[in-house]
């Protein structure tokens, strides 16, 4: 099977440097343009299913991509971003000023600790990779698209490359681009990462 990974289009929260894992917001004008460019690319590509995080910014991006294909977007909460807890909907500068000690601790112990009131990284990684594994098992021999967020896509690339959780910070998924991989019973081949359209 072939898997395409796509990050949602730009939001105003991206521009403000917000922590907004589960905070629901839509893509902005630039995000709409990015989604339409991805749609134009995928209009020339055969695929069987499209999955998305159930958060608006990812689901809307997926709906734009699939708009001419008569393929319904399958929303899955497994592909949500990390839940930031008390830091949800706060700017990075605010967190650095008001949660300096907690931020420093999380930076040092991110694999085992959680943000204040938030989701622990091991739980996040397990959630995302369980969702990916289920999609793989249900779609052998098919071509699928998953539209998600930077964090979950990085986790999925860790899983697909065999880097595991330790490799998480080695990936960053650009908006308006896609990554792709071939998955078989014998091996996984990464085809592209952050390929522009």
In percent, the amount of the chain with pLDDT more than 70 equals 100
The pLDDT of residue 114 is above 90: no
- Output the pLDDT for position 58: 98
Average pLDDT, the chain: 96
- Is 8 one of the annotated active-site residues of the chain? yes
Domains (ranges, CATH) in the chain?
2-84+124-196 (3.40.50.1240)
pLDDT band at 86 (very low <50, low <70, confident <90, very high): very high
Output the DSSP codes for 113-152. -B-TTS-BHHHHHHHHHHHHHHHHHH-TT-EEEEEE-HHH
Residue 132, pLDDT > 90, answer yes
Active-site entry in 5, 6, 7, 8: 8
**What pLDDT does residue 39 have?**
98
Query: Residue 1: its pLDDT value, please?
Result: 97
Global confidence as pTM: 0.97
* Average pLDDT, integer, range 19-48: 97
- 149, 151, 155, 183: which is the annotated catalytic residue? 149
Active site residue 149: yes
Look at residue 39 and give its three-state secondary structure. Answer: helix
- Coil/strand/helix, residue 182: strand
Task: Please say whether the beta carbons of 146 and 156 come within 8 A.
Answer: yes
Segment 117-133 mean pLDDT: 97
* pLDDT one-digit tens code per residue, 96-109: 999 999 999 999 99
Mean pLDDT value across residues 64-86: 96
What would the mean pLDDT of 75-79 be, rounded to a whole number?
Answer: 98
Average pLDDT over residues 47-72: 97
38 vs 35, 111, 132, 150, 196, CA distance in Å?
5, 33, 21, 16, 9
């Amino acid at each position: 099977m072939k898997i395409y990974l796509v990050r949602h289009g730009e939001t105003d929260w991206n521009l403000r440097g917000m922590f907004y894992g589960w905070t629901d917001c839509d893509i902005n004008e630039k995000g709409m343009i990015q989604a339409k460019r991805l749609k134009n690319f995928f209009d020339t590509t055969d695929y069987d299913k499209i999955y998305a995080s159930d958060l608006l910014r990812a689901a809307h991006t997926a709906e734009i991509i699939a708009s001419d294909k008569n393929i319904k977007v399958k929303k899955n909460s497994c592909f949500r971003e990390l839940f930031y807890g008390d830091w949800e909907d706060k700017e990075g500068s605010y967190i650095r000023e008001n949660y300096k000690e907690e931020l420093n601790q999380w930076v040092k112990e991110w694999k085992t600790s959680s943000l204040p009131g938030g989701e622990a990284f091991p739980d996040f990684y397990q959630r995302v990779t369980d969702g990916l594994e289920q999609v793989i098992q249900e779609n052998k021999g098919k071509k699928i698209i998953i539209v998600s967020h930077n964090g979950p896509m990085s986790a999925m690339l860790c899983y697909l490359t065999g880097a595991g959780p330790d490799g998480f910070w080695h990936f960053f998924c650009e908006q308006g681009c896609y990554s792709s991989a071939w998955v078989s019973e014998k091996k996984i081949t990464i085809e592209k990462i952050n390929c522009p359209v």
